[in-house]
Amino acid sequence: MTRAQQTISIALLVSSLYLALYLELVPLPAVVQQDIVPVLPFWLLISFGAYLLFRLGWGVLTFNDVPEAHKEIMTEIELAKTDLRALGVDVD
């Protein structure tokens, strides 16, 4: 099973579970059904965004822990500076 197939099958599973909750096919207390279930997609979206921001921040925080990537990006920066200097742009 490819990664795309796994992602699609998980998305279908989660959406069908949510639809079963939203259409009240699964009996839940009235408070949960009226107050929590309708906002679950928004909560998941906000949680996913917070997770992605955390991963981005962690990647920036630990960037120097990856010496090969650090050397590669520094080489690319120096190459870009050299190209810009050849075009007459002040980069310092």
**Three-state DSSP class for 1?**
coil
More confident residue, 1 or 15: 15
Q: What spatial distance separates the first Cα and last Cα of the chain, rounded to whole Å?
A: 51
The pLDDT, as a whole number, for residue 92 is 75
Dist CA 73 CA 8 (whole Å): 35
Contact 40, 18 (CB under 8 A): yes
pLDDT of residue 69: 84
CA distance 27 to 40: 16
pLDDT in tens, 13-62: 999 999 999 999 999 999 999 999 999 999 999 999 999 999 999 988 88
pLDDT over 90 at 5, yes or no: yes
Q: What is the pLDDT of residue 77?
A: 95
Stated pTM of the model? 0.59
